[in-house]
Structure 1
Amino acid sequence: MEALKVANANLVVRVHPSKSRKVTEAVLAELSSLLFKFNETFDGVVLAYDPNNWSSAARILPGVHPYLNVGLSAKLLLFSPKPNMLIEGEVIKVCQQSIHLIVLGFSSAVIMEEDLRDEFKYKFKDGKEVFISQQQKKHRIENGAVLRFAVKSFDEEILHISGSLEPAHTGNVQWLEKNLEKWSQVESSKGRRSD
Structure 2
Amino acid sequence: MLSSSSFSLGHQLQLQMEGLSVADADLVVYVHPSKSGKVSQAILRELSSLLFKFNEAFDGVLLAYDVNIQDKQAKILSGVHPYFGLRLKANLLLFSPKSDMLLEGKVVKLSRESIHVIVLGFSSAIITAQNIRGEFKYKTKDEEELFASRSHKRHVIKVGTMIRFLVKSFDEEILHINGSLMPAHTGSIRWLDRNLEEISEFDRSATKSRGREGQEDKTFEGSTPLSYNNHIKKSKKRRITED
Partner residue, 1:152: 168
> Is the aligned partner of 1:61 residue 2:77?
yes
Q: Secondary structure at the match of 1:21?
A: helix
Query: Would you say 1:78 and 2:94 are equivalent positions?
Result: yes
Distance in 1 (alpha carbons) for counterparts of 2:203 and 2:140: 31
Q: Which residue matches 1:99?
A: 115
Instruction: Name whichever structure is richer in strand by fraction.
Output: 1
Identify the structure with bigger relative contact order (alpha carbons < 8 Å, sequence gap 6+): 2
1:128 aligns with 2:144: yes
Aligned residues: 195
Asked if residue 9 in structure 1 is aligned to residue 28 in structure 2, the reply is no
Q: Which moved more, 1:54-63 or 1:7-16?
A: 54-63
2:195 is matched with which residue? 179
TM, length-normalised to structure 2: 0.77
TM-aligned CA deviation for residue 181 of structure 1: 1.8
For residues 123-182 of structure 1, the C-alpha deviation after alignment (integer angstroms, 9 at most, x for no partner) is 011111101111112111100000100000000111000000001100000010111121
Which of 106, 129, 136 does residue 90 from structure 1 map onto? 106
The 5-angstrom pairing of residues 33-48 of structure 1 reads 33-48=49-64
Give the structure-1-normalised TM-score: 0.96
- Measured in 1, the distance between the counterparts of 2:82 and 2:189 equals 54
Q: Is the 8 A contact 2:165 2:187 kept in 1?
A: yes
Identity of aligned residues (%): 60
Give unpaired runs (5+ residues) of structure 2: 1-16, 213-243
- The alpha-carbon distance between structure 1 residues 188 and 53, as it changes in their structure 2 partners (threshold 3 A), is farther
Asked if the contact 2:165/2:181 (under 8 Å) is kept, the reply is yes
1:24, CA displacement in angstroms? 0.9
Take 1:192 and 1:108, find their aligned partners in 2: how far apart are those partners? Answer: 37
Alignment RMSD: 1.4
Cα drift, residue 191 of structure 1: 4.9
Mapping of 1:105-120 within 5 angstroms?
105-120=121-136
Q: C-alpha separation between the residues in 1 aligned to 2:55 and 2:200?
A: 38
**Structure 1 residue runs of 4 or more that deviate by more than 3 Å after TM superposition:** 188-195
Aligned with 2:41: secondary structure?
helix
Deviations 1:112-131 (A, max 9, x none): 00001111111011111101
1:4 maps to amino acid: L
Letter in 2 for 1:120: F
Structure 1 residues not aligned, in runs of 5+: none
Q: What amino acid sits opposite 1:2 in the alignment?
A: E
